Amino acid sequence: MAHIIDGKAFAGRLRERIGAKVADLTARHGLKPGLAVVLVGEDPASQVYVRNKGEQTHAAGMHSVTHRLEASTTQADLLALVHSLNTDPAIHGILVQLPLPAHIDSNAVLAAIDPNKDVDGFHVVNAGRLAVGLPGLVPCTPLGCLMLLKDHLGSLKGKHAVVVGRSNIVGKPMAQLLLQADCTVTIAHSRTADLPALCRTADILVAAVGRPEMVKGDWVKPGAAVIDVGINRVPARDPAAAAAGKTRLVGDVAYDEAAAVAGAITPVPGGVGPMTIAVLLLNTLTAACRSHGLEAEL
Ligand code: NDP
């Protein structure tokens, strides 16, 4: 059976180290990293994410502000808030929770965030910095995946990594990070020919697709490291519970089958998911340190 990569435990240790660094920065430099999270509308999943982000930011000793705006908020009002946060010296990181209501152009809003405060790493300037290997702010989920892989495998040099999914927030930055770590990288997507055969060539297989349990056990090379980014809500196993509307979370990988073949695997929940907010805190810390010319290493 595969080694289970415990993202929850790793994220907990990372948050502790971040908290210690924040305490040191505050005591020695009077610098309290600040994160502003902006939520527009009442999407239930987004509300849970935003609440968790606020709580964990606070728990790490950071300054935490949450702006909750009506679903009817205009793009002009949202842009005005982003501009005011860009110039607020107490705020080092700005996160606008996606998805935004349909009447707002998400790209215009993301482009308005100061790239030095773009702790989601979605601004084109940060995507460009990642692509050319310059320091910037890197999207939280793929950076969290890379940390888990390095922690488990050590050097990733020369490994063949297959990333299934090419979104700007997960697949593409994941591929860039693996390339920087000296992997040979293949990016797969919905038009890839013979995806199972391609996946079977992967020493590192990252699934970021959004399709419940799509990656089967016989897609996995024996001994491979499997990182499951997917978060999919499906009906509960028990038919009566499912009929009552109960659900459970599954990843993009058929976990039991894959775990029987892989060398290591992240579970869902408890794998990649907890890393995302921990890396958001890390990015906020990094942005705060850089804004003051201080070393951001933990
Ligand atoms: P997107 O929908 O933006 O992208 C999905 C990608 O998967 C696309 O590139 C798409 O290809 C590809 N794809 C879809 N169907 C197939 C298929 N049948 N075969 C091969 N490739 C396919 O999703 P995200 O990248 O935003 O998210 C992916 C998953 O990760 C979701 O489950 C999401 O919930 C989860 N997620 C988890 C996070 C966490 O914190 N753990 C954070 C962010 C996302 P194409 O481009 O050709 O359409």
**Ligand 1 pocket, residue 195 CB under 6 Å:** yes
101 and 190 assigned to the same domain: no
Binding residues for NADP(+), as ranges, are: 165-167, 231
- Clarify whether 120 is annotated catalytic: yes
Identify which of 98, 163, 189 to mutate to test ligand 1's pocket (most ligand atoms within 8 A of the CB): 189
What average pLDDT score do residues 150-158 get? 98
69 and 188 assigned to the same domain: no
168 and 104 assigned to the same domain: no
What average pLDDT score do residues 118-135 get? 98
162 and 249 assigned to the same domain: yes
Domain of residue 175, CATH code = 3.40.50.720
Residue 9: predicted pLDDT: 98
Domain span at residue 174?
A: 140-273
109 and 145 assigned to the same domain: no
190 and 254 assigned to the same domain: yes
173 and 65 assigned to the same domain: no
Query: In this structure, is residue 174 part of a structural domain?
Result: yes
Query: In this structure, is residue 228 part of a structural domain?
Result: yes
Strands lying side by side in the sheet with 34-40: 63-69, 34-40, 93-96
Tokens of 48: 């849970």
Query: In this structure, is residue 24 part of a structural domain?
Result: no
**Ligand 1 pocket, residue 276 CB under 6 Å:** yes
Residue 267: predicted pLDDT: 98
C-alpha closest to that of 108 among 117, 98, 116: 98
Q: How confident is the model at residue 276 (pLDDT cuts 50, 70, 90)?
A: very high
**Ligand 1 pocket, residue 208 CB under 6 Å:** yes
| Ligand 1 atom nearest residue 251's Cα | 32
What average pLDDT score do residues 105-112 get? 98
What is the percent of the chain with per-residue pLDDT over 90, rounded to a whole number? 100
Query: In this structure, is residue 265 part of a structural domain?
Result: yes
CA–CA separation, 258 and 234 (whole Å): 19
Averaged confidence pLDDT in the chain: 97
Which listed residue (21, 53, 117, 159) is catalytic? 53
SS3 category, 228: strand
Atom 1 of ligand 1, nearest CA residue? 167
CA–CA separation, 161 and 171 (whole Å): 12
Residue 245: predicted pLDDT: 96
ipTM confidence score: 0.99
Q: How confident is the model at residue 237 (pLDDT cuts 50, 70, 90)?
A: very high
CB 113 within 8 A of CB 54: no
Query: In this structure, is residue 256 part of a structural domain?
Result: yes
Residue 25: predicted pLDDT: 97
Identify which of 49, 141, 164, 170 to mutate to test ligand 1's pocket (most ligand atoms within 8 A of the CB): 170
265 and 230 assigned to the same domain: yes
Atom 35 of ligand 1, nearest CA residue? 230
Domain of residue 104, CATH code = 3.40.50.10860
200 and 234 assigned to the same domain: yes
**Ligand 1 pocket, residue 187 CB under 6 Å:** no
CA dihedral 197, 203, 209, 215 (to 10 degrees): 50
Q: Based on the structure, what is the number of domains in the chain?
A: 2
193 and 105 assigned to the same domain: no
Residue 247 is inside which H or E element, if any? Answer: strand 247-250
268 and 168 assigned to the same domain: yes
SS3 category, 288: helix
* pLDDT tens-place string over residues 11-69: 999 999 999 999 999 999 999 999 999 999 999 999 999 999 999 999 999 999 999 99
194 and 256 assigned to the same domain: yes
Which listed residue (114, 118, 120, 228) is catalytic? 120
Query: In this structure, is residue 109 part of a structural domain?
Result: yes
* pLDDT tens-place string over residues 158-215: 999 999 999 999 999 999 999 999 999 999 999 999 999 999 999 999 999 999 999 9
**Ligand 1 pocket, residue 232 CB under 6 Å:** yes
Residue 172: predicted pLDDT: 98
Query: In this structure, is residue 247 part of a structural domain?
Result: yes
Whats the size of the chain, residue-wise?
298
Query: In this structure, is residue 144 part of a structural domain?
Result: yes
Tokens of 264: 């290591």
